[in-house]
Amino acid sequence: MKIITSPKEMQAYVKRARTDGKTVGLVPTMGAFHEGHLSLMRRARAENDIVVTSIFVNPTQFGPKEDYNAYPRDLENDSKMAEKIGVDVIFAPSVKDMYPQGYATFVNVERITEKMCGASRPGHFRGVATVVTKLFNIIPAHKAYFGQKDAQQCVVIKRMSEDLNFDIDIVILPTVRENDGLAMSSRNKYLSDEERRSALVLFKSLSMAKELIRSGELNSEKIRQKMLDIINAEPLARVDYISIVDAETLEDLNEIKDNTLIALAVFIGKTRLIDNIIIDQINPLK
Protein backbone atom coordinates (compact mmCIF):
# COMPACT_ATOMS: atom_id res chain seq x y z
CA MET A 1 0.00 0.00 0.00
CA LYS A 2 1.29 3.44 -0.96
CA ILE A 3 0.91 6.61 1.08
CA ILE A 4 0.79 9.69 -1.13
CA THR A 5 0.76 13.21 0.29
CA SER A 6 1.19 15.34 -2.83
CA PRO A 7 -2.03 16.22 -4.73
CA LYS A 8 -0.08 16.37 -8.02
CA GLU A 9 1.41 12.92 -7.48
CA MET A 10 -1.99 11.55 -6.48
CA GLN A 11 -3.63 13.00 -9.59
CA ALA A 12 -0.90 11.54 -11.83
CA TYR A 13 -1.34 8.11 -10.18
CA VAL A 14 -5.09 8.03 -10.86
CA LYS A 15 -4.68 9.31 -14.41
CA ARG A 16 -2.18 6.53 -15.10
CA ALA A 17 -4.50 3.90 -13.61
CA ARG A 18 -7.37 5.13 -15.77
CA THR A 19 -5.20 5.14 -18.91
CA ASP A 20 -4.35 1.52 -18.10
CA GLY A 21 -8.08 0.78 -18.17
CA LYS A 22 -8.44 0.34 -14.42
CA THR A 23 -11.51 1.34 -12.40
CA VAL A 24 -10.92 3.50 -9.35
CA GLY A 25 -12.92 3.73 -6.12
CA LEU A 26 -12.50 6.59 -3.64
CA VAL A 27 -13.33 6.54 0.08
CA PRO A 28 -13.01 10.05 1.55
CA THR A 29 -12.46 10.14 5.34
CA MET A 30 -11.04 12.16 8.20
CA GLY A 31 -9.29 9.06 9.61
CA ALA A 32 -9.47 7.48 13.10
CA PHE A 33 -10.96 4.45 11.42
CA HIS A 34 -13.73 2.28 12.82
CA GLU A 35 -15.95 -0.38 11.24
CA GLY A 36 -18.06 2.31 9.51
CA HIS A 37 -15.04 3.47 7.50
CA LEU A 38 -13.89 -0.10 6.91
CA SER A 39 -17.29 -1.11 5.50
CA LEU A 40 -16.88 1.58 2.81
CA MET A 41 -13.36 0.39 1.99
CA ARG A 42 -14.47 -3.24 1.74
CA ARG A 43 -17.23 -2.33 -0.69
CA ALA A 44 -14.84 -0.18 -2.71
CA ARG A 45 -12.35 -3.09 -2.74
CA ALA A 46 -15.02 -5.44 -4.09
CA GLU A 47 -16.13 -3.07 -6.85
CA ASN A 48 -12.92 -1.50 -8.24
CA ASP A 49 -9.44 -2.38 -9.51
CA ILE A 50 -7.82 0.41 -7.50
CA VAL A 51 -9.00 1.71 -4.10
CA VAL A 52 -7.89 5.10 -2.79
CA THR A 53 -8.78 6.20 0.74
CA SER A 54 -8.20 9.83 1.62
CA ILE A 55 -7.44 10.87 5.18
CA PHE A 56 -7.69 14.59 5.78
CA VAL A 57 -9.06 16.40 8.80
CA ASN A 58 -10.44 19.29 6.81
CA PRO A 59 -10.14 22.59 8.71
CA THR A 60 -12.67 24.45 6.54
CA GLN A 61 -15.56 22.26 7.69
CA PHE A 62 -14.99 22.98 11.40
CA GLY A 63 -16.35 26.09 13.12
CA PRO A 64 -13.99 28.25 15.19
CA LYS A 65 -15.29 26.78 18.47
CA GLU A 66 -15.41 23.18 17.26
CA ASP A 67 -13.09 20.22 17.78
CA TYR A 68 -10.63 20.62 14.87
CA ASN A 69 -7.58 20.47 17.17
CA ALA A 70 -8.93 17.70 19.39
CA TYR A 71 -10.12 15.51 16.48
CA PRO A 72 -8.39 12.08 16.76
CA ARG A 73 -5.52 11.50 14.32
CA ASP A 74 -3.66 8.18 13.97
CA LEU A 75 -2.22 7.69 10.50
CA GLU A 76 -0.07 4.75 11.55
CA ASN A 77 -2.91 2.65 12.91
CA ASP A 78 -5.26 3.75 10.10
CA SER A 79 -2.68 2.62 7.52
CA LYS A 80 -2.49 -0.84 9.08
CA MET A 81 -6.28 -1.21 9.05
CA ALA A 82 -6.58 -0.01 5.44
CA GLU A 83 -3.77 -2.28 4.28
CA LYS A 84 -5.51 -5.34 5.74
CA ILE A 85 -8.56 -4.56 3.63
CA GLY A 86 -6.44 -4.24 0.51
CA VAL A 87 -6.60 -0.47 -0.02
CA ASP A 88 -4.02 0.45 -2.69
CA VAL A 89 -3.31 4.05 -1.78
CA ILE A 90 -3.86 6.32 1.20
CA PHE A 91 -3.97 9.96 0.18
CA ALA A 92 -2.96 11.98 3.25
CA PRO A 93 -2.22 15.56 2.23
CA SER A 94 -1.21 18.32 4.64
CA VAL A 95 -3.38 21.39 5.20
CA LYS A 96 -0.81 23.43 3.23
CA ASP A 97 -1.04 21.00 0.31
CA MET A 98 -4.81 21.40 0.20
CA TYR A 99 -5.10 25.09 1.08
CA PRO A 100 -1.86 26.76 0.03
CA GLN A 101 -1.09 30.43 0.59
CA GLY A 102 -3.56 32.55 -1.38
CA TYR A 103 -6.29 29.88 -1.51
CA ALA A 104 -9.60 31.63 -2.34
CA THR A 105 -12.14 29.22 -3.86
CA PHE A 106 -15.11 27.63 -2.10
CA VAL A 107 -18.09 25.57 -3.22
CA ASN A 108 -21.46 26.54 -1.82
CA VAL A 109 -24.46 24.23 -2.19
CA GLU A 110 -27.54 26.36 -1.52
CA ARG A 111 -30.79 25.73 0.41
CA ILE A 112 -30.31 22.08 1.49
CA THR A 113 -27.26 23.16 3.51
CA GLU A 114 -29.13 25.79 5.50
CA LYS A 115 -31.05 23.52 7.88
CA MET A 116 -30.30 20.67 10.30
CA CYS A 117 -26.50 20.33 10.71
CA GLY A 118 -26.04 23.34 8.43
CA ALA A 119 -28.05 25.55 10.81
CA SER A 120 -26.09 24.41 13.88
CA ARG A 121 -22.73 24.44 12.11
CA PRO A 122 -22.60 27.49 9.82
CA GLY A 123 -20.04 27.00 7.05
CA HIS A 124 -19.75 23.26 7.69
CA PHE A 125 -21.17 22.13 4.35
CA ARG A 126 -19.26 24.83 2.46
CA GLY A 127 -16.11 23.19 3.84
CA VAL A 128 -17.38 19.69 3.02
CA ALA A 129 -18.44 20.60 -0.54
CA THR A 130 -15.13 22.36 -1.14
CA VAL A 131 -12.94 19.53 0.08
CA VAL A 132 -14.99 16.85 -1.70
CA THR A 133 -14.77 18.86 -4.94
CA LYS A 134 -11.01 19.08 -4.52
CA LEU A 135 -10.81 15.33 -3.80
CA PHE A 136 -12.94 14.52 -6.86
CA ASN A 137 -10.54 16.59 -9.00
CA ILE A 138 -7.39 15.14 -7.45
CA ILE A 139 -8.79 11.57 -7.52
CA PRO A 140 -11.13 11.36 -10.53
CA ALA A 141 -12.58 8.02 -9.44
CA HIS A 142 -15.37 6.02 -11.09
CA LYS A 143 -17.14 5.61 -7.76
CA ALA A 144 -16.97 7.40 -4.40
CA TYR A 145 -18.30 5.85 -1.19
CA PHE A 146 -20.07 7.65 1.65
CA GLY A 147 -21.94 6.54 4.80
CA GLN A 148 -25.64 7.05 5.47
CA LYS A 149 -24.60 7.98 9.04
CA ASP A 150 -24.01 11.52 7.68
CA ALA A 151 -27.41 11.73 5.98
CA GLN A 152 -27.40 15.43 5.09
CA GLN A 153 -23.84 15.17 3.80
CA CYS A 154 -24.99 12.40 1.42
CA VAL A 155 -27.79 14.60 0.06
CA VAL A 156 -25.44 17.58 -0.32
CA ILE A 157 -22.76 15.57 -2.12
CA LYS A 158 -25.25 13.92 -4.48
CA ARG A 159 -26.73 17.35 -5.30
CA MET A 160 -23.30 18.92 -5.79
CA SER A 161 -22.02 16.06 -7.90
CA GLU A 162 -25.01 16.32 -10.21
CA ASP A 163 -24.96 20.13 -10.34
CA LEU A 164 -21.23 20.30 -11.10
CA ASN A 165 -21.33 17.39 -13.61
CA PHE A 166 -18.86 15.15 -11.80
CA ASP A 167 -18.63 11.85 -13.65
CA ILE A 168 -18.45 9.87 -10.40
CA ASP A 169 -21.07 7.43 -9.07
CA ILE A 170 -21.95 8.32 -5.49
CA VAL A 171 -22.47 5.12 -3.50
CA ILE A 172 -24.16 5.38 -0.10
CA LEU A 173 -23.75 2.55 2.40
CA PRO A 174 -25.71 1.80 5.60
CA THR A 175 -24.76 3.06 9.05
CA VAL A 176 -22.60 0.61 10.99
CA ARG A 177 -23.54 0.38 14.67
CA GLU A 178 -22.07 -0.95 17.90
CA ASN A 179 -23.83 -4.02 19.32
CA ASP A 180 -26.08 -1.86 21.48
CA GLY A 181 -27.11 0.34 18.54
CA LEU A 182 -24.85 3.39 18.94
CA ALA A 183 -23.77 4.56 15.48
CA MET A 184 -20.01 4.25 15.12
CA SER A 185 -18.24 7.59 15.00
CA SER A 186 -14.71 8.85 15.51
CA ARG A 187 -16.23 11.28 18.04
CA ASN A 188 -17.41 8.40 20.27
CA LYS A 189 -13.80 8.43 21.53
CA TYR A 190 -14.58 11.66 23.39
CA LEU A 191 -17.25 10.00 25.57
CA SER A 192 -16.68 9.01 29.23
CA ASP A 193 -18.23 5.70 30.33
CA GLU A 194 -21.24 7.51 31.71
CA GLU A 195 -21.65 9.56 28.54
CA ARG A 196 -21.25 6.43 26.43
CA ARG A 197 -24.30 4.96 28.20
CA SER A 198 -26.27 8.20 27.75
CA ALA A 199 -25.36 8.29 24.06
CA LEU A 200 -27.73 5.37 23.50
CA VAL A 201 -30.66 7.82 23.60
CA LEU A 202 -30.05 8.71 19.95
CA PHE A 203 -30.64 5.14 18.78
CA LYS A 204 -33.38 4.57 21.37
CA SER A 205 -35.36 7.60 20.19
CA LEU A 206 -34.99 6.59 16.53
CA SER A 207 -36.05 3.02 17.28
CA MET A 208 -39.06 4.33 19.16
CA ALA A 209 -39.98 6.54 16.19
CA LYS A 210 -39.85 3.50 13.94
CA GLU A 211 -42.06 1.56 16.35
CA LEU A 212 -44.60 4.40 16.45
CA ILE A 213 -44.73 4.49 12.65
CA ARG A 214 -45.11 0.72 12.56
CA SER A 215 -48.09 1.03 14.85
CA GLY A 216 -49.70 3.59 12.55
CA GLU A 217 -48.62 6.98 13.93
CA LEU A 218 -47.80 9.19 10.95
CA ASN A 219 -47.96 12.64 12.55
CA SER A 220 -44.44 14.09 12.53
CA GLU A 221 -44.99 16.46 15.45
CA LYS A 222 -46.26 13.67 17.71
CA ILE A 223 -43.30 11.46 16.81
CA ARG A 224 -40.88 14.34 17.30
CA GLN A 225 -42.36 15.11 20.73
CA LYS A 226 -41.99 11.49 21.89
CA MET A 227 -38.38 11.46 20.69
CA LEU A 228 -37.76 14.70 22.61
CA ASP A 229 -39.29 13.18 25.75
CA ILE A 230 -36.90 10.21 25.61
CA ILE A 231 -33.86 12.42 25.09
CA ASN A 232 -34.86 15.04 27.65
CA ALA A 233 -35.20 12.29 30.26
CA GLU A 234 -31.45 11.70 29.95
CA PRO A 235 -29.62 14.25 32.14
CA LEU A 236 -26.39 14.33 30.08
CA ALA A 237 -28.20 14.78 26.75
CA ARG A 238 -29.28 18.04 25.11
CA VAL A 239 -31.13 18.03 21.79
CA ASP A 240 -29.64 20.13 19.01
CA TYR A 241 -32.29 19.22 16.42
CA ILE A 242 -34.74 16.49 15.47
CA SER A 243 -35.83 16.71 11.83
CA ILE A 244 -38.44 14.71 9.94
CA VAL A 245 -37.89 15.44 6.27
CA ASP A 246 -38.08 14.11 2.73
CA ALA A 247 -34.94 11.98 2.33
CA GLU A 248 -34.14 13.44 -1.12
CA THR A 249 -35.06 17.12 -0.80
CA LEU A 250 -34.78 17.54 3.00
CA GLU A 251 -38.12 19.37 2.98
CA ASP A 252 -39.98 19.25 6.31
CA LEU A 253 -42.84 16.75 6.44
CA ASN A 254 -45.96 17.08 8.58
CA GLU A 255 -46.85 13.46 7.82
CA ILE A 256 -44.55 10.47 7.47
CA LYS A 257 -44.55 9.07 3.93
CA ASP A 258 -42.35 6.71 1.93
CA ASN A 259 -38.71 7.79 1.90
CA THR A 260 -38.79 9.89 5.06
CA LEU A 261 -35.54 10.76 6.82
CA ILE A 262 -35.64 11.09 10.59
CA ALA A 263 -32.39 12.72 11.65
CA LEU A 264 -31.14 14.15 14.90
CA ALA A 265 -28.17 15.78 16.57
CA VAL A 266 -27.73 15.56 20.32
CA PHE A 267 -25.06 16.91 22.63
CA ILE A 268 -23.88 14.30 25.12
CA GLY A 269 -21.93 16.47 27.51
CA LYS A 270 -19.76 18.50 25.14
CA THR A 271 -19.78 15.92 22.35
CA ARG A 272 -22.22 16.46 19.50
CA LEU A 273 -23.44 13.19 17.99
CA ILE A 274 -25.69 12.62 14.98
CA ASP A 275 -27.75 9.67 13.80
CA ASN A 276 -30.71 8.97 11.53
CA ILE A 277 -33.01 6.38 10.02
CA ILE A 278 -34.80 6.29 6.69
CA ILE A 279 -38.36 5.02 6.49
CA ASP A 280 -38.27 3.61 2.94
CA GLN A 281 -41.84 2.43 2.80
CA ILE A 282 -44.55 2.91 5.36
CA ASN A 283 -46.69 -0.08 4.45
CA PRO A 284 -44.37 -3.06 4.98
CA LEU A 285 -43.41 -1.47 8.31
CA LYS A 286 -46.91 -2.05 9.67
Q: Which of 34, 37, 124, 142 is catalytic?
A: 37
Task: List for the chain the helix, strand, coil content (%; round to 5).
Answer: 40, 20, 35
Q: What are phi and psi of 7, to 5 degrees?
A: -55, -40
Q: How far is the CB of 173 from ligand AMP (least distance, A)?
A: 6
- Report d(CA 56, CA 281) in Å as an integer: 36
**Nearest residue to ligand AMP, scored by beta-carbon proximity:** 147
Residues in the chain, overall count: 286
Angle between helix axes 124-138 and 151-163 (nearest 10 degrees) is: 50
Binding-site ranges for ligand AMP (CB under 6 A):
29-30, 36-37, 39-40, 146-147, 149-150, 173, 175-176, 183-186
Q: Which is nearer to ligand AMP, 7 or 147 (CB)?
A: 147
Comparing CB distances to ligand AMP, the nearer of 24 and 173 is 173
Residue 124 designated active-site? no
CB-nearer residue toward ligand AMP: 40 or 245: 40
| Cα dihedral across residues 36, 128, 141, 13: positive or negative | negative
CB of residue 146 vs ligand AMP: minimum separation in angstroms? 4
Nearest residue (CB) to ligand AMP, 37 versus 224: 37
Q: How far is the CB of 259 from ligand AMP (least distance, A)?
A: 19
Kind and range of the H or E run holding 272 = strand 271-279
Q: Residue 275: helix, strand or coil by DSSP?
A: strand
Nearest approach in angstroms of CB 142 to ligand AMP is: 17
Nearer to ligand AMP, 38 or 227 (CB): 38
**C-alpha dist (Å) from residue 109 to 168, 177, 217, 248, 253:** 18, 29, 34, 15, 22
Min dist. Cβ of residue 237 to ligand AMP (A)? 19
Q: Which residues are catalytic?
A: 37
